[in-house]
Structure 1
Amino acid sequence: MEGKKPQHDVLQSDSRPREKRKKMGESRRDLTDHLEAYLARRDGVDKLLKISRYAAKLALASSLTAGRPDLHRRLKSFDSSVGVSRKAFRLGKFVQDLNALKRTRLDSGKGVLGLIAYGGEGAYYFVEQFVWLAKTGLIDGRRAAGFQRVSAWAELVGYIGSVALKVLDLRTILDEAARLGTTVKTLRADGRAVENEAGELQKLQAKAMLKQLSIVQDIADALMAIGDLQDGKGFLSNPIVIASAGLLSALISTHKNWTSC
């Protein structure tokens, strides 16, 4: 082994520029490659459809279509079609919540919140399959309203648990970031190197930001679920409020999916 050491050093020095170029290429990944990876995900396509749908809803709720009945009709048709398409993308998605429930330990308060979050979301995705079947006409369409009400309640329960879980996670991240921030200050005061600690602190701060955005997204989705349950009789049933909340949720989710692929 020792006799090969000089050869190994030569190979390593020869390959460094190539490795460096490879890393630079990865950090500057081509936009279309990134887009391909994003669109390969079920959630990636679903969130693009969500942006399109709630942008159409916002246009319908505004004065953009005033005096333009043909545009209003086309946007309504687009909204309805995309809504059905999104439900098709959720077929079988409840299985991920079943798996999450299997991994959830109920011997703590956090475990109970996990049961509420994953149980509610799983029930929502499961019932949404029947909403889709009713919308497509395979089963009696008169059942759609009942299915939608059950799915809205399940969705709301799931988001309540999800927000509570994420708030606890956020507190943990912020506490860890605060402790590491104190360590960084102490090391700097002593004139010691803090590159590793500073890098970890930046990662924690970025993680906290993503968690905060995720909480905002869940709250926006929960408000839409409440709006659905109000049957057009409350403030949260206002078309502009629903469209704005939906668009905000979709943009946050798209950002999270884009940065993670």
Structure 2
Amino acid sequence: MDDTVDKLVIFLAKRDGIDKLVKTFQYVSKLGHWHVETTHPDAATRFKQWEVASGLGRKAFRTGRFLTGFNALRRGPGATPTLKVLSVLANAGEMVYFFFDHFLWLSRIGTLDAKLARRMSFISAFR
């Protein structure tokens, strides 16, 4: 198969490198905040803002990632019944996590109602 879902999954997989780079920024800023929070509170505030912005940016780069699990299931989950069941459980969990993670991101940036953030965070935590 070489349909739209396949092409979209390939496109999104290319964004994984950007996500890893932004993750590095997020952790560096977290370490920077920890290192200067008692000596330079103003710099610590900027590091914290950088960390939060990086975390929200990472969620943007992960948009559509639930399609990867869907595509894996669609392609054939496994050769034996046991592998099929395990594949469905693993991919379904990841799909649910990323699906609700998108709603969490949209509510945190103000596109959706902010009250949804707490509920979506709770749901995605139990993937």
Structure 1 length as normaliser, TM-score? 0.41
Q: Which residue matches 2:61?
A: 89
Are residues 1:122 and 2:95 paired?
yes
Work out whether residues 106 and 112 of structure 1, in 8 Å CA contact, stay in contact via their aligned partners in 2: no
Q: What's the secondary structure of 2:38's corresponding residue?
A: coil
Distance 1:124 1:93 in 2: 10
Aligned mates of 1:126, 1:82 — CA distance in 2:
20
Q: Secondary structure at the match of 2:16?
A: helix
Q: Report runs of 4+ in structure 1 exceeding 4 Å deviation.
A: none
Partner Cα separation in structure 1 for residue 61 and residue 109 of structure 2: 14
Give 1:81 deviation, angstroms.
0.8
Residue of structure 1 aligned with 2:31, choices 36, 40, 58 = 58
1:80 Cα deviation (Å)? 1.1
Shift of 1:107: 4.1
- Pick aligned residue for 1:99 from 41, 62, 71: 71
**Which residue in the other structure is 1:113 paired with?**
86
Give the aligned partner of residue 134 of structure 1: 107
TM-aligned CA deviation for residue 58 of structure 1? 2.7
Q: How far off its partner does 1:132 sit?
A: 1.2
Superposed, 1:195-206 pairs within 5 Å as: none
Q: CA deviation at 1:105?
A: 3.7
Q: Per-residue CA shift, 1:132-183, capped at 9, x if unaligned? A: 11011011112101101211211xxxxxxxxxxxxxxxxxxxxxxxxxxxxx
Unaligned ranges ≥5, structure 1: 1-39, 155-261
Q: Tell me the alpha carbon deviations over residues 31-68 of structure 1, each in whole angstroms, 9 at most, x when there is no partner.
A: xxxxxxxxx920000000011102222333x3433221
Q: Matched residues in 2 for 1:99 and 1:83: separation? A: 26
Give the AA of the match of 1:48: L
SS at match of 2:126: helix
Instruction: Indicate the SS of the match to 2:60.
Output: helix
SS of 2:39's equivalent in the other structure is coil
Q: Larger % of helix: which?
A: 1
CA RMSD after TM alignment: 1.8
CA contact (8 A) 1:128 1:147 kept: yes
Letter in 2 for 1:117: A
Distance 1:153 1:106, change over 3 A: farther
- 2:50 match: secondary structure: helix
Q: Which SS does the other structure have where 1:118 is aligned?
A: helix
Distance apart, 1:128 and its partner CA:
1.1
1:47 alignment counterpart: 20
Query: Separation in 1 of the partners of 2:92 and 2:79?
Result: 13
CA contact (8 A) 2:59 2:105 kept: yes
Task: Measure how far apart 1:77 and its partner are.
Answer: 0.8
Gapped regions of structure 2 (runs ≥ 5): 1-12
TM-score normalised per structure 2 = 0.80
